Amino acid sequence: MERQRNAHIMLTRWDERKLDAYADYVGQVRSCIYASVLLYEVRKGMRDIGRTESELALALTDAEGNRGRAFERVMLLAEDGVVEAAHALNGAAHAVDWRARGTTDGPLEEWRELHRVAFKAINQFHEAARNDLGVNGDFHGEEQGARDLVLPRARPDSQS
């Protein structure tokens, strides 16, 4: 009986650490996306926030470092489904970062599509994490990701 109780305590302890790691990782991904949006919009002349592109690029670099450390924590604690979802999310987040920096280029609609892909990957990560943690219920559907997806407005043709 005592062994069962100790095993349950250990499982609960690891689940708490997993939950913290999963939540931190998603938070860091979102921070990177936010930093990428600021850099992209300033670089493209869509917004003026009183910070230079260099300052925003450094902020994105810091955010990427935090995301990388959070990703490594997930890799240490997660089961295979969560690991696969984290890799997919990391790839989608990198695509957003690269576009924001100008490493890749394309029209505004492609930028918006990169965000749709990233937020879909966040939802898939959530689903995998919920399964790993044994959380009942699920959320599927295209509108779920769109609820939290804020995209920049297109500039008037005169500013293109």
Has residue 160 been placed in a domain? no
Q: What is the mean pLDDT of residues 21-27?
A: 97
Mean pLDDT on 94-104:
97
Q: Where is pLDDT greater, at 151 or 82?
A: 82
Position 59 in a domain: yes
Q: What local confidence, expressed as pLDDT, does residue 74 receive? A: 97
152 falls in which pLDDT band (50, 70, 90)? low
Asked if residue 81 is part of any domain, the answer here is: yes
Structure tokens at 139: 């959320």
User: According to the model, what pLDDT value does residue 89 have?
Assistant: 98
Residue 72 has pLDDT above 70, yes or no: yes
Summarize the confidence of residues 58-85 as an average pLDDT: 97
- Asked which of 18-22, 57-61, 131-135 is least confident by mean pLDDT, the reply is 131-135
CB neighbours of residue 87 within 10 Å: 15
Q: Could you tell me the CATH number of the domain that includes residue 93?
A: 1.20.1420
Q: Does 68 map to a domain?
A: yes
Q: Is residue 158 part of a domain?
A: no
Q: Is the residue at 107 inside a domain?
A: yes
Report percent pLDDT > 90 for the chain. 72
In a domain, 159, yes or no: no
What range defines the domain where residue 116 resides?
A: 2-151
Residue 156 lies in a domain: no
Provide the number of structural domains found in the chain.
1
pLDDT in tens, 38-62: 999 999 999 999 999 999 999 999 9
